[in-house]
Structure 1
Amino acid sequence: MDKFLHHISEAFSTPLTNPVLVFTIILTIILISPIILRPIKVPGIIGFILFGVLFGPHGLNWLSKIDKVTLQGNGVDAIDLFSTIGLLYIMFIAGLELDMNEFKKTKNKSLLFGLLTFIIPISIGFPVCYYFLGYELLPSILIASMFATHTLVSYPIVNSYGVSKNEAVAITIGGTILTDTAVLIILAILTGAAQGQINQQFWVTLGVSFALFLFIMFGIIPRIAKWFFQKIESEKTAHYIFVLAVVFFAAFLAEIAGLEPIIGAFVAGLALNKLIPHSSALMNRIEFIGNAIFIPFFLISVGMIVDVSVLTKGPMALIIAGTLTFVAVTGKFLAATATQLAFAYSKNQRNLIFGLSNAHAAATLAIIMVGYDKEIIDENVLNGTIVLILITCIIASMVTENASRRIVMEGHQDDEHVEHVPEHEEQVLIPIANLANMEPILDFATLIKSKKSHHPLNILSVVADNEQAERNMVNARKNLDNMAKYASGSATEVELLTTIDFNIASGIGRTARELFADCLILGWPSATSFIEKIVGEKTESILNRTDANLFMCKLDHPFLSHKSIILFVPPLAESEVGFEYWMEKMLKLGQELSIPLLYVCDLRTQAAIETLLELAQTSVPFSFANYEDWDNIYGLATFSNTDALLVFVSSRYGEVSYRDSLDGLAKRVGRYFKNQNLILIFPSRRENQHIDDYEDIQTAPIFRKISREIGNMFNKEK
């Protein structure tokens, strides 16, 4: 008994040394911190730091550095190891989440804002640190450069108010790329200067190694990554491990080049930016694991370093904390005001820029931690920075919310009529036929589905009403469960539906009407039987029984293989009810994949598309090619290329843009473009505008086919 009590007292003596117990406490902190602090609106990043302070060496002293002894007898600090991974992860995600299309669209204005939000805070910060606070040259430059960084902590607020497409938001995002990159370069120079004398050899070495580093990261790594993602498509776990390997290789490469590892992680994010869609399963895994484990570890370890008692030992610590916060807020406000004057923005747009760019969090913390580790800055600055992060995050959230609300009240919310279906009500139905082809279709649905819709993706299996119906129903549920497991990888909510009907088309049509489905996503039609060819194929039957937008997909290759999306849009397509809907979806796909769109159409349709694109204020690059001979569908092949995703816009029989040349389009383009990904779009139509509802066997296709063949005979005679 005494032995047991002694063992217990030893295990719980502070600081705790048992690795299992230490990890249990840290994971408990990660679990309860957001739950406790959410009601009082304390940002998550601050919550972890505060708990780190509470349980760290300067608080309850439960947590401190623990060493895991290796076989060679060398000590490795477990918390430091995880926190280093977290630090690199923060910078990697910062590079990965930047919208490069948005940056390209407003690059000139973003450049000016980036310059202003970089120079103004540094111009104020350096003299304050050097003359007022009395720091030496290197610490003063480092602290001043910290003022120039910003983290888009309040971006979700902008998104929720529907003003994310406002130009003020776009240039702030672009400015983030420039300021963070510039500050990281300054950090590389300062750390080099702290370790030795800056001379000509230092600059030559830094320049050559930096150029070589950038060549490897932007010239070689993306090619290897693209090849890997295409060749190892089925191994989803391998994709995540590959990304992690790239991040740590980049961090190590940066260190070899004489730069800081966090620069390598940030550049790795920029290098892989176009290859990882924001709504993909891979992005979900990256963010989930980072936000669940690595980043909280880093933030808790930061809190463990903070010594709150320093703030009570004398006025100097409080003066430093107050000064840093004041300079940080003032610098960003003046930069936002200068941008407002330069581009004649409204007061609310100025406040929006200030709110988004005022929060100092991830990059600031990363830079200060490097400076503290290299002993460039002292404990007062570290503590002052924690105070600065807390206050600026709170100010940023309040100002952004207020500015967003006012912009909405002015009527400058993102234009909702770009999509005729209210985004929050969108219903997507995916009928499954061939389970082997479902994964890419589910990926496609995830990419184009509105993020504002609270409805899940509806996956449907229709079972024929016969003596095997019950057994088939059980098999259908198993297939649907497999789809649900796959969807969970990208955190996509799905609703599994099974129904019994006399034929598949009827079951799909009935379910679509019951759900009020806005969009159906189908696989490409397979070879049909002789009977189906005579009476009308399943696809045609589904088209006749539904009014919703229908996307038919042949996705045999990964989306990464595409360099562009080519859309073939027939004359009068702009007159269809679903025109705005499919336009919005293709723009969304282009944005997710970070690739440009080429519209092949006539001049009248081009004018309508240009009007819609102007309203959408899209960041996706687009261009046009003129084509007038729409009775010759095969002539469109001159516009296609092997690395493009081909999208053919068709229409249902009897609609405004319908023409005979579009009849049987799926079969013809499927044969002609065998080795390419294809999407065939049938826009939605008004209800009750067709006469085929009461016919189980569609006779209309027979007469259309006969008339077309007769027409072909006369054309040949001519």
Structure 2
Amino acid sequence: MELILQVLALEPTSQVLGKEPIVPFAILLVVILIVPILFERLRLPGLVGLVFSGLVLGSSGWNLFESNSPMINLLSEIGLVYLLFVAGLEIDIEQFRRRKSRAFGFGGLTFSIPLVLGTLVGHIFGFGWNTSILIGSLFTSYTLLAYPIISRLGVVNNEAVTVTIGATIFTDVGAVLVLAICVAFAQAGTFSFAKLLTLSGWLTIYSVAVLVGFDWAGKEFFRRSGDDEGNKFLFVLLSVFLAAVGAQLIGVDKIVGAFLAGLAVNEAVGEGLVKEKVVFVGSVLFIPIFFVDLGLLINLPTLMNSLDTLKLTLLIVVGLIASKFIAAFLTKLLYRYNWQEMLTMWSLSVPQVSTTLAATLVGYRAGLLPIEVLHSVIILMLVTSTLGPLITSRIAVGLISPSAEKPASTTLPEQNTQEINSAFTIVVPLYNPQTQQYLIEMAALLARQTNGTIVPLAIATAAAHMDAPQLEASLQRSERLLTKATAQSRVLGVEVEPLLRIDDAFAQGISRAAREQKASLIVMGWGKRTGLRARLFGNVIDGVLWASHCPVAVTRLMESPKKIQRILVPVENLIAPTLHPVQFAQMLAEANQAQVTVLNVCDRRTSSSKIAAKRSHLSLLVSKLAVQNSPEIQIIAHENVAQAILQAARLYDLVVLPFIRNRTSPGGLAISDVTTQLASQLTCSIVMLGEPQRTQTVVMPAGVPSTTSAI
């Protein structure tokens, strides 16, 4: 025993960790779990924390990990491929089609100007033309890190924003193709037009084969697979790595194939649980490890002691920001956008993350980019990923969404006319007997107010055989829940239609039953899990929110809904507000003779005249609801929206929040929204109202006009 301890004492920590792969993997998981949360609380992107972790754990810090570790190299390589695949998958082709010509115009400017300026920077520092052009290509693409911000502000449909989103398909494809050509010639050693034509020919054939072939195969496979999400998920992963292998066979880097695979299956995957699972797997494991590996490559002494590196870094950062500004300014002149639209386009196109970092690492490993450029681009990522969203949050507030230019409509579209006279049906999924009473009470209050019907729903999970003991036990449990719910509903004096359904999964069963019953609302219980976004909603609630055709009220009730007297409804965006939470709160308030307060939090520096204008504007919006007792309007000036709402909520029994699903950024590290922060810290009852994924008009009962909301 003493001999073993002596041997261990003599061995460096890094060697001990190297002999036990499970130890560094466990450390990586701890880093991925904790560090991004800490940095987001400091209002810094989580990926900045991951790169910083790599720096601390690597040779410049504690020396726990080595950048050439086989395990880390493998996981980082998968993360690199995954990063570019998700970048292709997340490109919004529909946004590109809406403004194709202007997206091409801005895309051409924000690609060519940074390419020229970046090439000039490389040439100034004495790099060869191939390296200089590759440096220029690193300036061309951009990552929409601020998408959650513009989504929350309701300005996604602003033309300038739509054009910026659509232009990513041009810049990303262009950057990836330039990378492929530069790296291919670096490996070949010499340049000739014959080689260029040959490589271009193979790239064209390969790109068409992937984009057309994988698109057709994906749509066919998804059509034939039905609801088998596991097979769909495996097909998507297989597509990624087949395309990566194919790219290497024609002499280009695998990330080109991964990116094209993402574009190819983009439409087949669509928006749904399969895409969410694909992105989830990469964003929680492989992509974060890639960012940690980037940090391991940083040589801090070389970076700090080299004046040339610092000059190169400064010139790259300034050159990138200036070139994107020039491109946005020329676009303003070309298409006559105003200054706020121009500055928003600039701030959205500044962050350099996914494609830029992947291309840099590939160029570095190919020997085309020196370590100084790698250091400079990592610092560029840190600066732009912080600066871009910060500017967007300040500038995009003043944008106008097309929907905000039109007066709120109080009539229903023609296609929903048939549903006006239908009963207001509330589906209440039952599972937990402890929360069932409050759920039924909540539904009863709403049903009485609308002369509606409650449909208590119990799902018995299907087995392979209909006479299986497990199914029989599930049916008996479901029947007991329904019997209890029926008795509770009748005591409360509402019409009840209990429903027992056998289905493969709870989420699918709930969303399908709600559609069959023509439900107007689904009221679900939410457990006590709080904290991370991934833990905020369970798989069942998550699945229902994705698939449901109607609003979903996810409730965490701390006391009986009949005792609720004061209801707070925070409204974050006054430009294109979603009034459904206000409508929901008002329905509940009228049933309980309660008071609703609509709250908006503005910046602390907002003048009193602007606060008065906001109050007047919000009062006008709320007055269009034509309710019996008008809600109270409250405007608070505060530097932190979440903290202001938390302080105000201490005086209320219930807070009604909109649930807006953030589009996951290509890095998988979406900026957390106010709703997530509030859900984990509020101590009173909460209702989160989730809207359907598609843009639609939601049918509300008589007296509560509908509004259109794109979620």
TM-score scaled to structure 2, two decimals?
0.60
| Cα drift, residue 43 of structure 1 | 0.9
Is residue 214 from structure 1 mapped to residue 207 from structure 2 by the alignment?
yes
* Equivalent AA in structure 2 for residue 321 of structure 1: T
Instruction: Say whether the 8 Å CA contact 2:455–2:498 is kept in structure 1.
Output: no
For 1:475, the equivalent position in structure 2 comes to 475
Give the Cα separation in 2 of the matches to 1:93 and 1:523: 33
Q: 2:321 maps to which residue?
A: 329
Instruction: Tell me the secondary structure at the aligned position of residue 265 of structure 2.
Output: helix
Distance 1:40 1:524 in 2: 42
Q: Percent identity?
A: 27
1:185 aligns with 2:180: no
Q: Which deviates more, 10-19 or 167-176?
A: 10-19
Q: Within 5 Å, which residues of 2 pair with 1:279-678? A: 280-407=272-399, 417=408, 429-430=426-427, 460-461=456-457, 475=475, 478=478, 498-500=485-487, 506-508=495-497, 523=513
Which of the numbers 21, 24, 28 marks the counterpart of 1:22?
24
Q: Give the distance between the partners of 1:78 and 1:480, measured in 2 at CA.
A: 52
What is the Cα deviation at residue 479 of structure 1?
9.2
The equivalent residue for 2:139 is 147
Q: CA deviation at 1:41?
A: 1.5
Could you tell me which residue of structure 2 aligns to residue 101 of structure 1?
Answer: 94
Task: State the secondary structure of the residue aligned to 1:14.
Answer: helix
Q: How far apart are the structure 1 equivalents of 2:66 and 2:193?
A: 42
Q: Which moved more, 1:412-421 or 1:191-200?
A: 412-421
Cα RMSD after superposing both structures: 3.9
Answering whether residue 702 of structure 2 is matched by residue 686 of structure 1, we say yes
Amino acid at match of 2:172: D
1:31-88 deviations in Å (ceiling 9; x for gaps): 1111221221121121111100110122211001566xxxxxxxxx221111111111
User: Which residue does 1:484 correspond to in 2?
Assistant: none
Structure 1 residue identity aligned to 2:161: V
Q: Structure 1: state its 5+ residue gaps.
A: 68-76, 422-426, 434-457, 464-470, 482-496, 511-519, 526-538, 550-579, 582-680, 689-718
Larger C-alpha radius of gyration, 1 or 2? 1
* Cα pair distance change 1:256/1:419, threshold 3 Å: farther
Aligned position for 1:34:
36
Unaligned runs of 5+ in 2: 413-423, 431-453, 460-470, 500-509, 523-578, 581-696, 705-711
CA contact (8 A) 1:348 1:403 kept: yes
The one-letter code of the counterpart of 2:385 is: C
Q: Tell me how far 1:316 sits from its aligned partner.
A: 0.9
The structure-2 alpha-carbon separation of the partners of 1:479 and 1:334, relative to structure 1 and needing over 3 Å to count, comes to farther
Structure 2 residue matching 1:179: 3-state secondary structure: helix
Q: Counterpart of 2:13? A: 13
Aligned partner of 1:160: which letter? Answer: R
Q: Which residue type is aligned with residue 346 of structure 1?
A: N
Note if contact 1:125-1:144 (Cα within 8 Å) is conserved in structure 2: yes
| Structure 1 Cα separation of the partners of residues 368 and 68 of structure 2 | 25
Aligned partners of 1:461 and 1:499 also within 8 Å: no
2:251 equivalent in structure 1: 258
Distance 1:191 1:274, change over 3 A: same
Tell me, yes or no, if the aligned pair for 1:169 and 1:352 is still in contact at 8 Å. Answer: yes
Q: Report Cα offsets for 1:478-535 as digits up to 9, x if no partner.
A: 5999xxxxxxxxxxxxxxx95446899931599xxxxxxxxx976599xxxxxxxxxx
TM-score by length of 1: 0.60
| Structure 2 match to 1:226 | 219
Pair 1:350–1:462, CA change in 2 (3 A)? same
Once the two structures are TM-superposed, the CA of residue 684 in structure 1 deviates from its matched residue by 5.3
Taking a change above 3 Å as real, the CA distance of residues 159 and 356 of structure 1, as seen in their structure-2 partners, is same
Matches within 5 A, 1:151-166: 151-166=143-158
Residue 159 of structure 2 corresponds to 167
What whole-Å deviation, never above 9, does each CA across 1:543-600 have from its counterpart, x for those lacking one? 8xx9879xxxxxxxxxxxxxxxxxxxxxxxxxxxxxx99xxxxxxxxxxxxxxxxxxx
| Compared CA separation, residues 65 and 307, structure 1 to 2 (3 A) | closer
**Equivalent residue for 1:113, pick from 106, 123, 127:** 106
Aligned residues: 474
User: Is the Cα contact below 8 Å between 1:99 and 1:173 reproduced in 2?
Assistant: yes
Question: 1:312 deviation in Å?
Answer: 2.1
The offset of 1:461, in angstroms, is 1.4
Aligned counterparts of 2:405 and 2:291: Cα–Cα separation in 1: 35
Kept in 2, the 8 Å contact 1:209–1:257? The answer is: yes
- Code of the residue aligned with 1:25 in structure 2: it is I
Give the aligned residue type for 1:507: V
Q: Is the 8 A contact 1:91 1:363 kept in 2?
A: yes
User: SS of the residue aligned with 1:461?
Assistant: strand
Contact 2:144–2:349 (CA under 8 A) maintained in structure 1: yes
Change (3 A) 1:506 1:332: same
